[in-house]
Structure 1
Amino acid sequence: MTSPNPMLDRIRAILPDIAARADQAEKERQVPAENIRLLKQTGMHRAFQPRHYGGLEMSLPDFAQCVVALSGACGGTSWAFSLLCTHSHQLAMFSKQLQDEVWGQNPDATASSSIAPFGRTEEVEGGILFSGEMGWSSGCDHADWAIVGFNRFDANGEKVYCFAVVPRQDYTIRDDWYAMGMRGSGSKTLILDKVFVPEHRIQAAKGMMEGQSAGFGLYPDSQIFYTPYRPYFASGFAAISLGVAERMLEAFKEKTRNRVRAYTGASVGMATPALMRLAESTHQVGAARAFLEKTWEDHRVHGVAKQYPTAETLTAWRTNQAYAVKMCIEAVDRLFSVAGASAWFDGNELQRLFRDSHMTGAHAYTDYDVCSQILGRSIMGMEPDPTMI
């Protein structure tokens, strides 16, 4: 019988190897090269690459399920690799010339990013000179290109948020990723000094959110490119949070089943308070999964119908994922708080899951304090607050 998601089957086959290197990823503060090799063998890095270059153009639900599974093995690996995958969707919104440069000679090429508009630019003939220290570039050690953010001004003097794409030889990587969570993601800083970026490697963010970028419409038969870039770019964050939370449920059961109090010898893991916490977290994680799967399926349905999402739909997609992350973090916290003192040792999986879980809610896209305001304004028919992207 043909599997409904063959990529998920391939990912599951390598999970024991990925999980075995979770501590190595933390110590090295980046994804181990062997993990990247195994993951690329599955072809997952081509999930959102156009078929024109040999890509798979996977549906978002199928992709997200792969990210969930991978996250239970190693959150840092999943964080970095999922972004290397989703950036291909963003690159497909750029000019055909840029896409040919990225994938023409190397169909396996991937890109990391640092898209907050911190870049400093100088307008020159044919493009810009880009300088900056661009942080949080997850998976950059394994990327061939980088997508970096900056602001420029249009003919009317209005500020325009843009992205530039630069090849690996045009920047250096500062090894400064010393973080509490997602240590294995290798989210280091890219250093650029007056790098020339031609116009065909530049796109305005607004155009990429409104179907007006140079690459929009290049693949009329595709079901994943008739959409803004951001929902695909950010799709991994909530999937990672869910995968970490689901693994926390299993790890908590494994590690507390035979736990006893050190001073009294009384059973802890099978006591009523532990069972109640496990039950509530199980319900909460299950609810988060159902909510996310419904949201991911809505992405797929829009793509099949070639129905461009409305502003209200985009708001729902983003805030739904942020709320699911909130639920997953709460479920993890509920269990970790009663896991005992030994759970705090560096070698204990529970503390890694606890730290990685909180990092999934620290991204700008999943910050629920921001998302709840965005949704509230939308519900009440108010104009979006431009200070909240």
Structure 2
Amino acid sequence: MRLPVMVGENMLCAPFREQRFTARIPISMQNAPAATAGDLAATARAMVPTLRARAEETEKLRRIPDETDREFRAAGFYRIFQPARFGGYELDYGVQTRLADEIGRGCASSAWVMSITAIHSMMLGMFPAEAQDALWGDNPDATVATSFLPRKVEIEPGKGGFRVKGRWGFSSGVDHTQAVLLMLTVPDGQSRRAGFAFLPKSEYEVEDTWYAAGLAGTGSNDVVVADAFVPEAHFLPAMETRGGPTPGSAVNSGHLFRLPLFAVFPYNLVGPALGAAQGAMEAVIAEMTQRSSVAHQKLAEQQSVQMRIAEASAEVDAARALIMRHLEQINEMGRAGQSPDMALRTLYRRDLGFAAKLCVSALERVFPLIGGQGLVPGHPIQRAWRDVHAVAQHLGLTWDIQASLFGAVALGQPSPDPRL
């Protein structure tokens, strides 16, 4: 089913409206109702006023409040990519992007934590069955964090696995999860294997280190491992996530667990930027319709204001269209057992990076309209401005990196990132 780009109220794209998703998705889950992307979207949309009201508290806490985590769990957001054999929904890839687009209108930090926590279940579903069973066998409600940023890590290979100690940074939402996947590189004879190690919460500590200007409420703290043994079955080599069979696809037959992880991963990151930019546009329009200049001229009647609103809203709509245009193809190819070639993978990354760039441009365009009021702490448009910039700073979205990937392959060069 092709998902149209919707045009909504006030000449702005209304993200993720009910008519986008009508097909019901069966769940292999005893005594559980079927879930649909539309059901989840309606729930996310209804949460926006509450999350917007909590946004300042979320920033002050530097993590999402416990109430938000409980509500996300109750809504089923963290189950969207969990393997069905543990009660997960295994919905189509991209649902997390659309939910974050919706939630980000109220709080980008909350949208970020929701989206990446959801995708981590897909990642764990790529691990050998033993690692999946270790977390979900006794607690199917458990969630997983990650860190892709190892610092001062020491690894000692041993029989049946390896011992590890060290520190990892930027583990968003880790305070609310029950396990973590840590990127590291394991010595293997004369070579080294990069990949992810699964550790339950009993094997690490969370250190409160997250003080940031943007996405301030994501709780992207450090993970500290004093000394832990990682069995070989709890390690997933990065090169086994490039598309096609993974260790986990032996027990999880859905296409999610055969997708090229690094090629599509930034779809988990960009949704909060779309939502924050959309929410900022709605707030700017509402404010401009009520305000007058010091010369008592209505700002809504000023052509310069009108032009900024028009161009910024077009940038947000264009960003959303770029993001959504590939999702159907990603899922169709996955279900057909096909893997995108390198040209297509770098095209995904180019469009993701450019969409983030467009969101930044839209916020830069309208931020001057709110004047000195935008300097006041807690101003929602200022918060959106900071959050969108923070999202665009992620390596998976930084324009120069994504442009270089696409440009190199387009010009007949090998991909600079072999993990794609």
Shorter-normalised TM-score: what interval?
over 0.9
1:331 aligns with 2:362: yes
Aligned-partner Cα distance in 2 for 1:107–1:336: 44
1:305 aligns with 2:339: no
Match of 2:401 in 1: 370
Amino acid at match of 2:415: P
Amino acid at match of 2:360: I
Count of residues in Structure 1 that have an aligned counterpart in Structure 2: 386
Conservation of the 8 A alpha-carbon contact between 1:59 and 1:300: yes
Helix, strand or coil at the partner of 2:290: coil
Amino acid at match of 2:99: C
1:295 aligns with 2:326: yes
Conservation of the 8 A alpha-carbon contact between 1:117 and 1:151: no
1:136 aligns with 2:167: no
Helix, strand or coil at the partner of 2:247: coil
Query: CA 1:388–1:125 in 2, change beyond 3 Å: closer, same or farther?
Result: closer
Amino acid at match of 2:413: M
Query: Residue 18 of structure 1: CA displacement?
Result: 1.7
Q: Aligned to 1:86, which of 99, 107, 119? A: 119
Match of 1:249 in 2: 281
RMSD between superposed Cα atoms in Å? 1.9
Gaps of 5+ in 1: none
Aligned-partner Cα distance in 1 for 2:171–2:301: 43
Amino acid at match of 1:18: L
Helix, strand or coil at the partner of 2:217: helix
Give 1:205-354 correspondences, 5 Å limit. Answer: 205-211=238-244, 213-220=246-253, 222-231=254-263, 233-262=265-294, 264-354=295-385
Match of 1:52 in 2: 85
Q: Deviations over 1:118-140 (max 9, x none)?
A: 43211122211111111100000
Conservation of the 8 A alpha-carbon contact between 1:86 and 1:232: no
Aligned-partner Cα distance in 2 for 1:304–1:153: 35
Helix, strand or coil at the partner of 2:258: coil
Conservation of the 8 A alpha-carbon contact between 2:180 and 2:199: yes
Range with bigger deviation, 204-213 or 320-329: 204-213
Query: Residue 386 of structure 1: CA displacement?
Result: 4.7
Conservation of the 8 A alpha-carbon contact between 1:149 and 1:162: yes
Amino acid at match of 1:307: Q
Conservation of the 8 A alpha-carbon contact between 2:40 and 2:99: yes
Aligned-partner Cα distance in 1 for 2:120–2:344: 22
Q: Deviations over 1:288-315 (max 9, x none)?
A: 1111110222212212322122222221
Amino acid at match of 2:124: L
Range with bigger deviation, 200-209 or 137-146: 200-209
Q: Aligned to 2:218, which of 185, 193, 209? A: 185
Query: Residue 388 of structure 1: CA displacement?
Result: 9.4
Helix, strand or coil at the partner of 2:325: helix
Gaps of 5+ in 2: 1-17, 23-37
Amino acid at match of 2:348: W
Amino acid at match of 1:318: R
Q: Deviations over 1:226-246 (max 9, x none)?
A: 312234543221111111111
Helix, strand or coil at the partner of 1:225: helix
Amino acid at match of 2:285: K
Range with bigger deviation, 72-81 or 57-66: 57-66
Identical aligned residues as a percent: 29
Match of 1:126 in 2: 160
Range with bigger deviation, 341-350 or 110-119: 110-119
Query: Residue 117 of structure 1: CA displacement?
Result: 4.2
Amino acid at match of 1:135: G
Range with bigger deviation, 303-312 or 348-357: 303-312
1:201 aligns with 2:234: yes
Q: Deviations over 1:323-345 (max 9, x none)?
A: 11111110111001232010111
Query: CA 1:213–1:59 in 2, change beyond 3 Å: closer, same or farther?
Result: closer
Q: Deviations over 1:80-103 (max 9, x none)?
A: 121110001110110001111111
Helix, strand or coil at the partner of 1:22: helix
Q: Aligned to 2:184, which of 150, 166, 171? A: 150
Conservation of the 8 A alpha-carbon contact between 1:162 and 1:204: yes
Query: CA 1:268–1:307 in 2, change beyond 3 Å: closer, same or farther?
Result: same
Aligned-partner Cα distance in 1 for 2:301–2:336: 50
Aligned-partner Cα distance in 2 for 1:151–1:283: 43
Aligned-partner Cα distance in 2 for 1:91–1:311: 24
Match of 1:162 in 2: 195
TM-score (norm 2): 0.88
Aligned-partner Cα distance in 2 for 1:387–1:346: 43
TM-score (norm 1): 0.94
Aligned-partner Cα distance in 2 for 1:55–1:14: 22
Q: Aligned to 2:66, which of 22, 27, 33? A: 33
Conservation of the 8 A alpha-carbon contact between 1:332 and 1:354: yes
Query: Residue 147 of structure 1: CA displacement?
Result: 0.7
Helix, strand or coil at the partner of 1:133: strand
